[in-house]
Amino acid sequence: MTKNWILKTVLLCTLFILFSCQKEKAKPEIKTYRAGVILSFDDAYVDEWFDTDQKLKQYSWKATFCVCKINTLRHYEIKKLLEFQKEGHEIAGHGLHHYHAEKFVKKYGIKDYFKQEINPMLRLMSFYGLKITSFVYPYGGRNPKLDAALLNVFKIIRGRAFCEEDASKQGCYFNHSKIVYSFSIDDTHNHFNIPHLMKLLDYAKKNDEILILNSHKTVENVTADYQTKNATLELICKYIRCNNMKFYTLSDLDNIQ
Ligand SMILES: [Zn+2]
């Protein structure tokens, strides 16, 4: 009789502990930040970006302009970049020559990569008064050794995401690391279309995620590859406003755990 009672008690305790553990595991993750979007723009389409900014200012939008070939820009273009910075947009580095980092390093080594592509870019951007803390890989070409070397100089690095049909499997959400990946919203990008973009935005909203997007030249009407319609950007701005989401810049991610 006593033995039976002890056995019953042990069994009940075990069940209770098991149940408690499962409950602990199922606890949802509490996010300390709001759902949002990072809109990043690559290369050097300063005039087009400036026109887009005039249209989208009404939405209090924030962009990250990832600039390459700073040495080829005219004085008036540098002034526009400084105005962006003053308005709260971020200017990021995208290489002095826009070299494919991984291919360059394979051929010439990492020391030459910094000597030709990174250090002169940072010197010139700092001379102009541009504060650079993020870097974006041209063509998304990267490897872990390059990531580690560049993270000695930059706080956040952005590559390009692999494309998946399923929104939840996309690698283009903030991943709590210093290396993040973006989804291209250029109009002729194979995987881009408005319903898919809406799926990505809905997923970010429902799961308190930060969606990272990239674009190149901003236009009213698409005439070639690497162009994003201003209408697409306006749609994103409206979505963010309607759903009480937030615009982030790449460097904002450095302050989020
Ligand atoms: Zn580029």
How do residues 92-115 score in pLDDT, each as one tens digit? 999 999 999 999 999 999 999 999
* 31-255 placed in CATH 2.40.110.10: no
- Give the CA angle between residues 40, 148, 256 to the nearest 5°: 50
Give 111-151 pLDDT, tens digit per residue.
Answer: 999 999 999 999 999 999 999 999 999 998 999 999 999 99
What is the predicted pLDDT for the residue at 21? 45
SS3 228: strand
Ligand 1 centroid to Cα of residue 3, in Å, is 75
C-alpha of residue 19 to centroid of ligand 1, in Å: 52
The CA 41 to ligand 1 mean position distance, Å, reads 9
Q: Is the distance from CB of 71 to CB of 96 less than 8 angstroms?
A: yes
CA of 117 to the centre of ligand 1 (A): 13
More confident residue, 117 or 167: 117
Q: How far is the CA of 43 from the centre of ligand 1 (A)?
A: 5
Nearest C-alpha neighbor of 136 from the set 38, 235, 202: 38
Across the range 24-51, mean pLDDT stands at: 86
Q: Are strands 156-160 and 179-184 parallel, antiparallel or unpaired?
A: parallel
Distance 153 CA to ligand 1 centre (A): 19
Average pLDDT over residues 59-75: 98
Asked if residue 182 has pLDDT above 80, the reply is yes
Query: What per-residue confidence (pLDDT) applies to 14?
Result: 57
**Confidence grade of residue 82 (pLDDT, cut at 50, 70, 90):** very high
Give 11 Cα–ligand 1 centroid separation in angstroms.
Answer: 63
175 or 249, higher pLDDT:
249
- Please report the pLDDT score of residue 224 as a whole number: 96
Is residue 19 scored above 70 in pLDDT? no
**pLDDT value, residue 190:** 86
CA of 140 to the centre of ligand 1 (A): 8
The average pLDDT across 148-159 equals 97
Ligand 1 geometric centre to CA of 187 (Å)? 16
Which residues does 105 contact at the CB level (< 8 Å), separation at least 6? 113, 143, 145, 146
Q: Would you kindly state where each structural domain of the chain is located, as residue ranges?
A: 31-255
Ligand 1 centre to CA of 13 (Å) is 61
Q: State the distance from the centre of ligand 1 to the C-alpha of 5, rounded, in angstroms.
A: 73
Question: 203 CA to middle of ligand 1, Å?
Answer: 27
Evaluate if residue 41 carries a pLDDT over 80: yes
Higher pLDDT, 245 or 166: 245
Which tokens go with 229? Answer: 């319609």
**Whether the predicted pLDDT of 198 surpasses 80:** yes
pLDDT in the model for residue 218: 98
14 CA distance to ligand 1 middle (Å): 58
Q: Give 17 Cα–ligand 1 centroid separation in angstroms.
A: 55
